[in-house]
Amino acid sequence: MSVDEGSGSSRHTPLLVLGKITEILDAFSLARPALTFSEIQQATGLPTSTVQRLVTNMVAQGLLDRVGDQIRIGVRMAYWAAPAVKGVDVLTIVNPVVREMRDATGETSCFFREEQGFRVCVAVADTRHVLRRDMYVGKILPLHAGSAGRVLLAWNPELAEDVLARPLEPITDTTVTSPELLRELIRQTRSDGFAITTAEREDGSSGLSAPVFNSAAELVGAVSISGPTIRMPLAKCEEWVDLLVGSAEKLTRTLGGRYPN
C-alpha cells in the first residue's frame, strides 16, 4: 500500500509544481513585463519561500531572466513560442477571444485587418440584442472613420500618411474630415493604446478598439467592441477599456507577439 501511495505521490507532485510555475509565468503581462520577487508573490499568492525557490530554478533553466531585482520572462521562451504559432491560422486564436468579449459585454465584438486601403471585418461575434449594428465577416469599411480604423492607422504610419493625403469623405455629421485633427487623433490613439469613437461611421453607434501585434512587433489587426450609443455611452466604453486592452494583450501573447518600442 505504501508503494502505491509513493507511486501516486511521484506522479502528482510534478503536476502541482507545474501549476505553480504556470501561475508565476501568468503573473507577467505586456503591461508589466518586469516584476520583483515581492510582486510575483503578491500576484500569485504563493508562499514567499516557494516563489524564491521556483524563480531561482526557473532563472537557472532560462524560463526567466533576472537583472538586479527585476525578473522577466526568459528569452529562451521565445524559441518555444515561435514554433507554437507557426502555421496556425490567426483566426483560430482570434475567434474564441472575440466570443469571450461578446459574452462579457453583451455587445458585438470583431477583429479587423487592413486590406488594400480599407478595414475588413475578419471575425465577429454578434450581440444577442435585437437592436444591433450591421456587421458580418467580409464587411469593408473606410479607415478614417471609427475606432478600429483609428487603431489600424495609429500603428501603420505609411498607411496613415496615405489616408491623410486623400479627401476624408464625410459619412455622418461627426465624421472627422480634417487631416490635421485626424493626425492628432491618430497620435493620441497610439499614446493611449486604444481608441473610442462615437457616430463617426454610423449615427447613434459607438466603438472601442485596441491593437494586436505579432512576434516582429508588427500590427496584425484591431480587436473591437461596438454597439448602439444608447447602450454604449462614453462612460460604458471607458468602463470596458481594461477588458478590451486585456483581450488584445491576450491575443498578442498567444501569437508570441510584442509591443513595438
pLDDT tier for residue 86 given thresholds of 50, 70 and 90: low
* Count of domains observed in the chain: 2
Whether residue 221 sits in one domain with residue 93: yes
Q: Note the pLDDT of residue 253.
A: 86
The CATH number of residue 118's host domain is 3.30.450.40
Whether residue 138 sits in one domain with residue 33: no
Whether residue 148 sits in one domain with residue 193: yes
CA–CA separation, 32 and 112 (whole Å) = 26
In this model, does residue 177 exceed pLDDT 50?
A: yes
User: Among candidates 200, 206, 203, which has minimal Cα distance to 244?
Assistant: 206
Q: Is residue 260 part of a domain?
A: no
Q: Note the pLDDT of residue 82.
A: 61
CA–CA separation, 137 and 152 (whole Å) = 17
Q: Is residue 261 part of a domain?
A: no
Whether residue 117 sits in one domain with residue 70: no
Whether residue 117 sits in one domain with residue 58: no
Spatial contact of 40 and 71, defined as CB atoms under 8 Å apart:
yes
Domain that holds residue 227: 85-254
Give the end of a domain, one of 39, 54, 74: 74
Identify any residues that bridge with 205 across adjacent strands, giving them in sequence order. 228
CA–CA separation, 236 and 38 (whole Å) = 34
Spatial contact of 194 and 207, defined as CB atoms under 8 Å apart:
no
CA–CA separation, 32 and 54 (whole Å) = 20
Phi and psi of 71, rounded to 5°? -115, 135
In this model, does residue 146 exceed pLDDT 60?
A: yes
The cell numbers describing 202, all together, are: 454610423
Whether residue 55 sits in one domain with residue 144: no
Sign of the Cα pseudo-torsion (196, 240, 221, 75, in order): positive
The long-range contacts involving 6-14, CB below 8 angstroms and separated by at least 24 positions, are: none
The DSSP H or E segment spanning 141 is strand 140-141
In this model, does residue 148 exceed pLDDT 60?
A: yes
Angle in degrees, CA 243, 228, 179, rounded to 5: 85
The CATH number of residue 57's host domain is 1.10.10.10
Whether residue 234 sits in one domain with residue 138: yes
Q: Note the pLDDT of residue 7.
A: 43
Give the end of a domain, one of 21, 55, 74: 74
Which of 26 and 236 is assigned the larger pLDDT? 236
Give the end of a domain, one of 25, 42, 74: 74
Whether residue 122 sits in one domain with residue 52: no
